[in-house]
Amino acid sequence: MFEGFEEERIDVGLSRLFVRHGGEGRPVLLLHGHPRTSATWHRVAPQLVNAGFRVICPDLRGYGRSSKPTLTADHSAHSKRATAQDMLALMSALGHEQFALVGHDRGSYAALRLALDHPEAVSKLALLDCIPISEHLARADATFATKWWHWFFYAQPEIPERVIMADPECWYHGSAREMGQENYDEWRQAIHDPDTVRAMLEDYRAGLTIDRQHEEADRQAGRKVTAPLLLLWSLRDDLEDLYGNPLKVWEAWASDVSGHGIDSGHHMAEEAPSELSAALIKFLQLP
């Protein structure tokens, strides 16, 4: 897994991040989702390297082998703004002041925040299975609450930690066959760590509070993503079922947006790596 990549821990100020990086060429930063680690990209990253890119895959703050922030009452230590600042510092430490950015699931929210807060740093943005948190919540109805009930369960204090840690593997439903053995082993180690589970839940608690506030402030100020935006969504997940064409939602958030569905379940980097890689490479190679 990740043959030819370096692995190291890099101090970025308030966090110490575990990161894999390899390849030569224009830099691309890949941000994983919940409850994965950077290992989720193990079938995609080598294809991007072979296409001529330098690929950087960190564990987000709180996830995997990256450090766990001290809890704060307003959840700001686990906010997407804090995560975005980590990523900006990480890329600067690796010598990259501008880069392409790809985010999936919770990583897509950090990627969106980075593109909004630091537009000069992001040359291109690809978001996977994503519409803004505030857009989900503004549209929330009984269907959304039924399908995405975990958002509101994770927001409860203490209870979800106790429930998940009673049997993490049953809760998260991983598969070595689908994920790849080494990716599975790394994921399994992470979800059995109480500090990691709490940090992942804090990510969701931040989403419903401070992250939502940040996004609503963006809309009021008329801020948009200025980098070209590629949106990809899993056809066997429920984004289309909830909202129809997700591109319509993004027209209010980005000035240059395109995209399409991928024949996959939610974890497309593991389930449809070749189709995903092809779409990303085509987008990233555009002038």
Q: Which contacts qualify for 240-248: CB closer than 8 Å, 24 or more apart?
A: 242/139, 242/143, 242/144, 242/147, 243/131, 243/139, 246/131
pLDDT value, residue 85: 98
pLDDT value, residue 69: 97
pLDDT, tens digit, for every residue of 123-156?
999 999 999 999 999 999 999 999 999 999 999 9
pLDDT value, residue 159: 97
pLDDT, tens digit, for every residue of 35-45?
999 999 999 99
pLDDT value, residue 161: 98
pLDDT value, residue 11: 98
Residue among 16, 65, 14 at smallest CA distance from 39: 65
Active site residues: 105, 266
pLDDT value, residue 149: 97
Q: Is 52 left (phi over 0), alpha (psi -120 to 50) or beta?
A: left
Calculate what percentage of the chain has a pLDDT beyond 70: 100
pLDDT, tens digit, for every residue of 223-246?
999 999 999 999 999 999 999 999
Domain 6-284 sits in which CATH superfamily? Alpha/Beta hydrolase fold, catalytic domain (3.40.50.1820)
pLDDT value, residue 80: 98
Q: pLDDT band for position 106 (50/70/90)? A: very high
pLDDT value, residue 256: 97
Q: pLDDT band for position 194 (50/70/90)? A: very high
pLDDT value, residue 116: 98
pLDDT value, residue 191: 98
pLDDT, tens digit, for every residue of 152-172?
999 999 999 999 999 999 999
Q: CB of 92 within 8 A of CB of 61?
A: no
pLDDT, tens digit, for every residue of 10-30?
999 999 999 999 999 999 999
pLDDT value, residue 24: 98
pTM of the full structure:
0.98
pLDDT value, residue 60: 98
